[in-house]
Structure 1
Amino acid sequence: MEKTVWRWAGLLALPCACNAFAQSSVTLYGVVSGNVSYITNAQTSGTSPGGGPVGHHQVAQFDGANSALGASRFGLTGAEDLGGGLKAIFTLESGFSMNSGAIGQGGSFFGRQAWVGLASASAGQVTLGRQGDAMTDFTDPLTYAYNWGFFNAHPDDYDNVDYSRRINNSLKYMSPVWHGFRVGAVYGFGGVPGSMGANQVWSIGGSYAMGALSTALAYVNGRNPNTSMFGNNPNASATGNNMGSFGSATSPQSNPVIAGFASASTLDTIAAAATYKFGSVLVGGAYNHTRLLGLGSNASLNPLHYSGDVAFDNFEGSLRVSVTPAFRVGVSYDFTRRGAVNGAMSSSSSAHYQQLNLGADYNLSKSTDIYILSAMQKASGTDSLGQAAVASIAGITPSATAYQMIVAVGMRHLF
């Protein structure tokens, strides 16, 4: 996503500045984004006297994190020339809600990114901190959701296709581009005394771009994903379900697509994506395969007594058109198939989710645009909670039925 940035030159004039800082540059950047959305069948409670969820239509103001082209944020990024082609680099990025001013990512002040490292044009870069996995760097940027907003992601963003989760305590390497090829790897230290593998996350990926064609592959593996991948924000529970909730008579469900699988010992995802540009038309396709292994490894998070493993497959096709330099439109279709739970003590049916996404975006200037976005989802089968599957668009309160639609009209400003 293009960003217009201001140089924060005042930092160089601080009294504590010294000669070493004279070769440094620091940039302040950000996004402010919000919209008004109409949602059908949004749950008001997870259960009713009859046993099913209850829902009503909703009109609400949302921050861009849930329902727009980009989440509201601000950040600082900088570099210092160390000589010999080597630079010290850093980025600190904080998400926030435009509606309330609250800090995003569960109250983590620099929850979107917080890292420091070294970069060389010939050898690549190594960074330490809170960062994205290899999918974020390679396959995600080629998908429709990454470019058109969070609710266009796959149901409940179970595969992190729209960067809803980061890796804490991570070490990352990104190579330079060699004849169109680039590779990278990430390792998140679990930090558990006496167990090097507990809560660890590792990821690898690569891309190739030449002319109109861009392709990418990535793989992510996370141990104890309820903690290492879904529970790494300050508001996460050390013992509870961080992947979602079953809801109650007074509260809606959360992430019913995956909430019932929080007892898994391992989550792994392999992803592939490609785009090809024909003049002003960009055609894209993507495939993700995600497995949750070792269900039942944490008995306290397994009320449905699952065992074995479960797999998700997602197929995406998209079309994006630049009608004019200032006006673009897009459409994508996603089909998500979740298999039955292998090894379950009781029968567990599969589930299917189909989603159609539409969008239009008009640039009023280089820094400001207005947009209208829509997503429509249909669910079938049995979800992770052992109930009739309900539609659950990423970032939106789940539907009380198998169908859900959202329409969002809003504005975004980049600085």
Structure 2
Amino acid sequence: MKRFQLTVLAAASFAVATPAMAQSSTNVTLYGVIDAGVAYVNNVATGLNAKGAHNFQAVSGIGQGNRWGLKGTEDLGAGLKAVFVLENGFNLMNGTMLQNSRMFGRQAYVGLQSAQAGTVSIGRQYDSVVDFVSPITSAKQWATQYGAHIGDIDNLYNSFRVSNSIKYTSANYSGFSFGALYGFSNQPNTGGGTGFSNNNAFSIGAGYANGPLTAALAYMHLSSPGTTNANGAVSNDYSSATDIFYTSAVDKHDIAAAGVSYAIQAATVGFVYSYAKVNYVNQSSIRVNTFELNGKYQFTPRLLAGLAFVYSDGSVSGATALSGISKGTKPRWFQVNAGTTYSFSKRTETYLNGVYQRATGDAVVAAIDNVGGPTGTGAQSQIALIAGVRHKF
């Protein structure tokens, strides 16, 4: 990835106010991803009870989310650095900002970094499930957002971020790293609010990457996400038309995930497991265990192909709020991801991907993530095809 670096000399601006301070410099990097394609999806509807139809559409950021960002460091001496990231997400097709029209909705944080002790940062950030386990999924490697797990209920495709968060990320200790995050509700225990835990979040995770082996595990807990406290840890971007599990108010949301991958010459095989439980305020709930087996093969330095099988096993309790998703207590979904990526250079590549999803058991709706809307009731299968091009700078 080619990056443009700007050096900002801070000595001049501080010379008068703080003459005792030594000269320092801040290195700032401008970076980004531009991704667009053309997609075909069948059974696309505007709501769970609407009739679906075929849809040909120009799409933005399905292969990888469009973004531009600034990140920087300042050497403070004695192995300590100041770090920051400001990252904007946007729709390439119409120029609008994503993440509920936030200026820097993907990431926005500042912190201190030590080569020995790790990094502490504060702002809007990724959780530990995204940091550690998500990179092992096929969707994050080559299968595009269409290849995410049903409704992205495990957030392994990073459908939402955590605001008001303080985060610790360890240094790399011979391939081993770990981290934790806490997102504040920013609400007091007195007055009109329901307290400190109304829309707060926390996560913890660890990973190991050394040679051909990569392994990771993580846990995340959300309390009243995106409900009464709009200024809490997870707000506004928690639900969308394709996140079918968030159509009712959520009381608690728990996610546990683990993954492992192993490279054998040009081939890499991976396995990911996730457990997600959503408790709704009306006392209903759903649990989903998802199993993904994925593989990819680097045929040439330019050509990569991948294949993945995903099975999601659900269990519903008090299904009043889930009548558009399941007709009983045992909804299940089966999904196949297949795709290829061809690299013209280190910065520019094209991709062709296909996803097939089938609702089985008591599930009444298939809903490939971010295809424009969930399928109508009774449409238990869905196919999505996309051809796209991506440039990184």
The answer to whether TM tops 0.5 is yes
Alignment of 1:55-134 (within 5 A): 55-64=52-61, 67-68=62-63, 70-134=64-128
Q: How many Å separate the matches in 2 of 1:102 and 1:17?
A: 38
Q: Does 1:258 align with 2:258?
A: no
CA contact (8 A) 1:205 1:216 kept: yes
2:175 to 180, 185, 190: 180
The structure-2 alpha-carbon separation of the partners of 1:82 and 1:58, relative to structure 1 and needing over 3 Å to count, comes to same
1:214 maps to what in 2?
214
In structure 2, give the amino acid aligned to 1:267. Answer: H
Distance across 1 between alignment mates of 2:260 and 2:146: 21
Distance 1:235 1:30 in 2: 25
* Aligned match of 1:8: 6
**1:243 Cα offset (Å):** 3.1
> What is aligned with 1:277?
263
CA-to-aligned-CA distance 1:145-196 (integer Å, 9 cap, x gap): 1112211110121111111110000000011122321110000011111122
Q: 2:10 touches 2:26 (CA, 8 Å); kept in 1?
A: no
Shift of 1:46: 4.6
Q: How far did 1:265 drift?
A: 1.6
Distance 1:121 1:256, change over 3 A: closer
Q: Distance in 2 between matches of 1:100 and 1:15?
A: 41
Name which of 134, 137, 143 aligns with 1:143. 137
Q: Tell me which of 357, 378, 395 is aligned to 2:370.
A: 395
Distance, in Å, in 2 between the alignment partners of 1:156 and 1:226 is 16
**Structure 1 residue identity aligned to 2:114:** S
The aligned counterpart of 1:329 is 305
Distance 1:156-1:15 versus aligned 2 partners, 3 A rule: farther
Structure 1 pair 12–414 and aligned structure 2 pair: CA distance change class (3 A): farther
Q: Deviations over 1:208-232 (max 9, x none)?
A: 2222111001000010023499997
**CA, structure 1 residues 332+83, in 2 after alignment: closer, same or farther (shift >3 Å)?**
same
Query: What is residue 390 of structure 2 aligned with on the other side?
Result: 412
TM-score (norm 2): 0.88
> How far is 1:236 from its partner?
2.9
CA contact (8 A) 1:108 1:233 kept: no
Deviation at 1:321, TM superposition (A): 0.8
Look up the equivalent residue of 2:386 and give its one-letter code: A
Deviation by residue 1:42-98 (Cα, 9 ceiling, x = unmatched): 115654xxxxx212111110001xx21x11100000000000000000000000011
Q: Which moved more, 1:210-219 or 1:339-348?
A: 339-348
Residues 14 and 154 (structure 1), Cα distance of their counterparts in 2 relative to 1, 3 Å cut: farther
User: Aligned residue for 2:29?
Assistant: 27
Aligned length in residues: 375
Give the equivalent residue in structure 1 for 2:236: 236
Contact 1:105–1:233 (CA under 8 A) maintained in structure 2: no
Q: Pick closer, same or farther for the CA change 1:90–1:44 going to 2, 3 Å.
A: closer
Q: 1:224 to 1:44 in 2, by over 3 A?
A: closer
Once residues 31 and 193 of structure 1 are traced to their aligned partners in structure 2, the CA distance between those partners, rounded to angstroms, is: 39
2:192 maps to: none
**Structure 2 vs 1, CA of residues 27 and 390 (structure 1 numbering), >3 Å: closer, same or farther?**
same
Are the structure 2 counterparts of residues 15 and 121 from structure 1 closer, same or farther at C-alpha, using a change threshold of 3 Å? Answer: closer
Contact 1:230 1:243 in 2 (8 A): no
Q: Is the 8 A contact 1:106 1:233 kept in 2?
A: no
Report deviation, 1:349.
2.5
SS at match of 1:324: coil
- CA drift of 1:319 comes to 0.5
Structure having the larger proportion of residues in strand: 2
User: What is the TM-score when the length of structure 1 is the normalising length?
Assistant: 0.84
Checking the alignment, whether the CA contact within 8 Å between 1:275 and 1:283 is kept in structure 2 is: yes
CA distance in 1, matches of 2:344, 2:295: 23
Task: Name the amino acid aligned to 2:304.
Answer: R
| Residue deviations 1:241-268 (CA, integer Å, cap 9, x gap) | x635xxxxxxxxx3363034x3332111
User: Which 4+ stretches in 1 moved above 6 angstroms?
Assistant: 17-21, 228-235, 343-347
Code of the residue aligned with 1:257 in structure 2: it is I
> Please, which of 364, 377, 380 is the counterpart of residue 357 of structure 2?
377
Quick one: structure 1 residues 15 and 327, their matched pair in 2 at CA, closer, same or farther if it must change by over 3 Å? Answer: farther
Which 10-residue stretch deviates more, 111-120 or 223-232? 223-232
Cα distance change on mapping 1:21 and 1:279 into 2, 3 Å: farther
Letter in 1 for 2:56: V
Q: Provide the C-alpha distance between the structure 1 equivalents of 2:93 and 2:233, rounded to a whole number of angstroms.
A: 21
The answer on whether the counterparts of 1:222 and 1:228 sit within 8 Å (CA) in structure 2 is no
> What residue identity is the alignment partner of 1:282?
T
Paired position in structure 2 for 1:247: none
Instruction: Quote the RMSD (CA, aligned, Å).
Output: 2.7
Equivalent-residue separation in structure 1 for 2:6 and 2:79 (angstroms): 24
Q: Deviations over 1:111-165 (max 9, x none)?
A: 0000000000000000000001001111111111111221111012111111111
Q: For the residues of structure 2 that align with 1:373 and 1:231, how far apart are their CA atoms?
A: 37
- 1:54 corresponds to 2:51: yes
Distance 2:381 2:210 in 1: 40
Contact 1:200/1:228 (<8 A) preserved: no
Contact 1:307–1:344 (CA under 8 A) maintained in structure 2: no
**Partner Cα separation in structure 1 for residue 206 and residue 287 of structure 2:** 23
